[in-house]
Amino acid sequence: MPRDDDDDRPRRARPRREDNDDDDERPRRKRRRPDDDDEEASDGTGGVIPYKNGLALAAYYCGVFCFIPGVGCILGPVAIVLGVMGILHVNKHPKARGTGHAVFGIVGGLIGPFVIIGVITAIGLFAKK
């Protein structure tokens, strides 16, 4: 167990290894360096968020928020329209990406209002009993 007075002592530096050591034959991984035209690899999202396809991203958020009662019947059709426009944008500009977000917006926009209506109907049926 170290003593309290040992904490003030400077630590010794580790000896540096020579880069030309031939005795170490382990394979080394090289760092992936992003290309100059590959902007998605250099940002913090790693290409997950389709920031070049705002239509697909808006469709995704509308598809998520259309499950909220009261706004679902409004955001559902908006998500469908934006999702279709997002897919058309991806077909014109393949670097834009965002097909998954656009598809989720379409599916969420189709399902969301029906889920809300089903939940409200179920609550109404069980409340009468």
Q: How far apart are CA 93 and CA 90, in angstroms?
A: 5
Domain parsing of the chain, residue ranges: 52-129
SS3 of residue 125 by DSSP: helix
Amino acid at 56: A
Q: pTM for the whole thing?
A: 0.63
Average pLDDT over residues 6-10: 67
- Higher-pLDDT residue of 16, 13: 13
CB neighbours (10 Å) of residue 49? 17
Give the model confidence (pLDDT) of 52-102 as tens digits: 888 999 999 999 999 998 888 899 999 999 999 999 999 999 888 889 999
SS3 of residue 92 by DSSP: helix
Contact 116, 74 (CB under 8 A): no
So what's the pLDDT on residue 28?
75
Mean pLDDT, the chain, integer: 81
Question: What DSSP character marks residue 55?
Answer: H
Amino acid at 89: H
How is residue 31 written in tokens?
Answer: 């760092």
Which bin fits 72, alpha (ψ -120 to 50), beta or left (φ > 0)?
alpha
Contact 55, 89 (CB under 8 A): yes
